[in-house]
Chains A and B, each alone.
Chain A
Amino acid sequence: MTKVLAVASGGGHWEQLMLLRIALDQFDTRYATTEKGFAEQHGLEKAHILPDCNQNRPFRSLQCLIVALLLIIKLRPDVVVSTGAAPGFFCIFAGKLIGSRTLWIDSIANAEQLSMCGRLATRIADKCLTQWEHLASDPSPDFAGALL
């Protein structure tokens, strides 16, 4: 069965990932987020934890990248899916290094332009989706529906 790692930071990113469980739970999917409570909120007993980080916190970001790399090496997922933010992007980046197929879904919060990680993901991920039709462009990102 296809091994999937699905990653999202807490809050809106995680809410969106949880709405994708209809698809994700058809596979051998492991979840990762930034705090144990978020997983509990949705009745997930097991989730891997990544340190939260953003572009203003370089040291935490480096720490998160290392944890992401170790997690990817341990799980060796066939596919990495993320709805953001930076910790999810690091998992996609790490996934690319070991040959996972990677999917970035930009948060629905980004209605005016893609997030910074989303813009990077258009180059790094195998597929990048926006949830706003007016932000879709050729070749990437694509629009394939939205969660709200």
Chain B
Amino acid sequence: MILVTVGMQLGFDRLIKAMDRIALDQPEPIIAQIGPGEYWPKNIEARRSISGAEFEQTIADAKLIVAHAGIGTIMAAQRHQIPIVLLPRRAKLGEHRNDHQLATVDQLQDRNGVFVAHSEENLAQVIAAGLACNIGHDARPANASKLNAAVASFINSAKT
């Protein structure tokens, strides 16, 4: 199953329309979480929101995630070691307040299991690459333990 998700804050019709167009050519069934978007897809099972434990289970069951470049979604994908295809939201298309999602994909595009579609035109190609990828079991970045150590040391230094 391919999970398409755009987060809960903003719709992302460009992604949902593009997925709807290529849905029938995909080897996997598709479930889309479309948030407050206006476009309702015809070829995909769509829901406005999938919350809490159910969303967690859906991510775990997915073979691939296709999403906006939201940090929460990327982190959830990495936590479950599921490959993710990102289409960044663009400010000039009214998809977000600014272009920070472009900065996000620039920083993350070389990471294991992260695939970037720079436009909806090459989405199908990037999805094929994502489905073919074997993400393996790479350990959590060493940086994360460094930040945890910094947090623990800050708390320990507070007098009780």
Contact = CB atoms under 8 A, between A and B. Distances in A.
Interface in B82-115: 100, 103-104, 106-108, 111
B71 A11 contact: yes
Q: Is the interface of B mostly helix, strand, loop or mixed?
A: helix
Given A12-B71, A109-B104, A145-B144, A103 B53 contact: no
Nearest to B55: A41
Interface size on B, as a range, is 35 or more
A14 B33 CA distance: 19
A41 B100 contact: no
A112 to B, nearest CB: 5
B27 interface: no
Given A24-B151, A41-B56, A110-B100, A78 B72 contact: no
Interface residues of A, number: 46
B158 A79 contact: yes
10 contacts: A2-B158, A19-B75, A20-B151, A24-B151, A35-B51, A40-B52, A41-B51, A78-B160, A108-B71, A144-B149
Interface of B: 7-9, 51-53, 55-56, 70-76, 78-79, 100, 103-104, 106-108, 111, 140-152, 154-160
